[in-house]
Structure 1
Amino acid sequence: MKYTVVGAGAMGLRYGILLQENAGVPVDFVEPTQASLDKIHEQGDKVWKSRDHKDRHEIKINIFSPEEYEGNPDVWIFFMKQMQLQDTLDRLSPKFKPGQTALGAMNGMGHIEKLQKYFDDEHIIGGTAMIATVLNDYGDVDFMGGESMGSSVYANLTEKPSTVMDKIQEDFKAAHLNPSYTENFMGTLLTKVFFNAVENSIATMFQSRMGQLMAYDNFLEGIARPLINEAYDAAEAEGITLIETRDEMVKQVDYVSNIGNPLHFPSMYQDFVKGRPTEVDYINGWIADLADKNGVNAPNQHLVTNFVHLAESMREFTPPVNKLAPDYKGN
């Protein structure tokens, strides 16, 4: 199948490059951010790829603005920031054709309802990716971890099998995206959202690597579990069953922090230190709203949402240190 990746950020580049290089399938990129598009064009339509800060080399890609793109993919893969998606969809809407599939594997919640305005439910796939990736700069991506590290999970909005899903699983497996399939759509998406509500938000507030959070010996039970419990309470009140239990979620936070990606700075931190808005409203804020809707108490989710926004405001007075910068010498 042919894929068009919308958003040439960290995860968009990783998916597209892996599909292109490992699975050998045709891939186009659509980049709505003009500065990023300009930078990649200046590089001769090439992007820099590293793995764990090593073996930096250029890879040729096909990349276009939304307005100039004329391709006809089988699957559109959306890797936008939640707050940027609607504008991008509006710009791309004349390009969408009947029968095409939209796959959204973005952080947070809010994108599925937007995709439903342009694609029918039978052609919408939701996904989550536990794959650590860093965007050093526009057109410069760093894959964290070994070739087959990380995993991804996908579900059809219809919660029924499909030929397209079978083909995607085949291509993603060849790309080393380690895919799996479920028939629990919301449970699949919220599993990543609830994880991010702990790791992304807390690491961003304290400008830390995931593994450094574990320096506090009560992090799992004193911070992670209360946030996870509130999220699960809200989901259960809504009638949603996740694909992991509460205890499994705590164990996942433990594993990723200590073993999986202890040196990784989450994507929310990457936005934070570069002065961009974070997606906290689409993660902790979304959970807090779900809890409020169902009469469930979620004071920790509300507090974390406000704390992250406070940290954003404090950048004016105490600019954060970009620990991902090439010249940073600290921990």
Structure 2
Amino acid sequence: MTKYTVIGAGAMGLRYGVLIQERTGNPVDFIDTWEPSVNTIKEQKGTWVSRDHKDKHMVPINISFPEDYTGDPDVWIIFVKQMQLAEVLKRCAPLFKEHQYAFSAMNGMGHIDKISEYFPDDHIVGGTAMIATVLNGPGDVDFMGAPRTGVMHLCNKTEKTDAMTQQMFDDFKEAGLGPILTENFMGTLMSKVVFNAVVNTLCTMFEITMGQFIEYPGAKDMAEQLMNESFDACERAGIHLVETRQEEVESVDYVSRVANPYHYPSMYQDFSKGRNTEVDYINGYIAKIGREHDYICRTHEFLVHEVHMAEMMRKYKQAK
């Protein structure tokens, strides 16, 4: 029996926690710092769960603020927005113990450095999640796509699969999260960053679904241009992605055209609700790697400016 506690009761945190709780029988708790989320879930005594906007039902879950939590999990599952992570980890720090592991498959990059301030390398497992989920509101989550069709990767930061990393893999598999173990830490994490740097950012810029994006005849050319910059930057930094350039482009096509054509990516969900996006941790992170290794990712840098400009321009739309 492995005890999990999820930090962040947003879309992905709820999906991982609920599926592990329901399908594996392992105990799961939740921690959040967003008052509407904690208060709503406490009042409801659980969270609403739907799949593709259907079969809405209540799932009982335990949730607390960090300061009220008394549990001692074996594994922390961390799904927090990159901009908020440092403060959330600081509030949770008194709960962290030497035997515990931390797993995170957050979008973008930057979170591993912050998590490494609290956990040793061999107790950190990073991952990616090609799993579409929408948070309709506090305590109301929608799992997108058919059951057991999502795919994720996970890798111990040491690139050695120890007993707990294997146990996480087994539990995630039983939960239907589609895990794949790798032994290439940065290459695994960056494979999702370069994917998101195409789909998340462009769908947000034009406020469209993934299916609408891939309908454009030039979508493949756009994906290839961004992927080439991403791979060039990573190669100069000595990061070897777990997929090839062509595989990444094909993944953009498949996920957008077949797997999740009606899905608005998470960056758009933040943008449409007036929140800041994670573009600095996605396209901006790729551009940063490039600059650090004498390679300028001009398209990625341009897109970062475009997204920030769009964020600023929302005030004029609201004023109308």
Question: What TM-score, normalized to structure 1?
Answer: 0.95
Once residues 38 and 62 of structure 2 are traced to their aligned partners in structure 1, the CA distance between those partners, rounded to angstroms, is 11
Cα offset, 1:175, TM superposition: 0.3
1:64 aligns with 2:64: yes
Match of 1:276 in 2: 275
User: Structure 2: 5+ residue runs without aligned partners?
Assistant: none
Aligned with 1:102: secondary structure?
strand
Match of 2:245 in 1: 246
1:261 aligns with 2:260: yes
Once residues 77 and 201 of structure 1 are traced to their aligned partners in structure 2, the CA distance between those partners, rounded to angstroms, is 25
Once residues 239 and 174 of structure 1 are traced to their aligned partners in structure 2, the CA distance between those partners, rounded to angstroms, is 34
Aligned with 2:117: secondary structure?
coil
Aligned with 1:317: secondary structure?
helix
Cα offset, 1:297, TM superposition: 2.1
Match of 1:327 in 2: none
Match of 2:204 in 1: 204
| Residue type at the aligned position of 2:235 | E
Match of 1:219 in 2: 219
Aligned with 2:48: secondary structure?
strand
Match of 1:324 in 2: none
Once residues 318 and 190 of structure 1 are traced to their aligned partners in structure 2, the CA distance between those partners, rounded to angstroms, is 34
Q: Cα deviations across residues 174-227 of structure 1 (Å, max 9, x unaligned)?
A: 100010100000000000000000000000010000010123201111x11111
Aligned with 1:275: secondary structure?
coil
Trace 1:186-197 onto structure 2 (pairs within 5 A).
186-197=186-197
1:12 aligns with 2:13: yes
| Residue type at the aligned position of 2:110 | G
| Residue type at the aligned position of 1:30 | I
Higher helix share: 2
Aligned with 2:253: secondary structure?
helix
Match of 2:84 in 1: 84
Aligned-residue Cα RMSD (Å) equals 1.0
Count of aligned positions: 318
Once residues 256 and 104 of structure 1 are traced to their aligned partners in structure 2, the CA distance between those partners, rounded to angstroms, is 22
Moved beyond 4 Å, runs of 4+: none
Match of 2:120 in 1: 120
Cα offset, 1:116, TM superposition: 0.8
Match of 1:301 in 2: 300
Q: Cα deviations across residues 4-40 of structure 1 (Å, max 9, x unaligned)?
A: 0000000000000000011111000001111211111
Aligned with 2:285: secondary structure?
helix
Cα offset, 1:279, TM superposition: 0.3
Match of 1:317 in 2: 316
| Residue type at the aligned position of 2:184 | N
Once residues 75 and 17 of structure 1 are traced to their aligned partners in structure 2, the CA distance between those partners, rounded to angstroms, is 15
Aligned with 2:57: secondary structure?
strand
User: Structure 1: 5+ residue runs without aligned partners?
Assistant: 321-331
Aligned with 1:316: secondary structure?
helix
Match of 2:159 in 1: 159
Cα offset, 1:319, TM superposition: 4.3
Once residues 90 and 34 of structure 1 are traced to their aligned partners in structure 2, the CA distance between those partners, rounded to angstroms, is 17
Once residues 67 and 10 of structure 1 are traced to their aligned partners in structure 2, the CA distance between those partners, rounded to angstroms, is 22
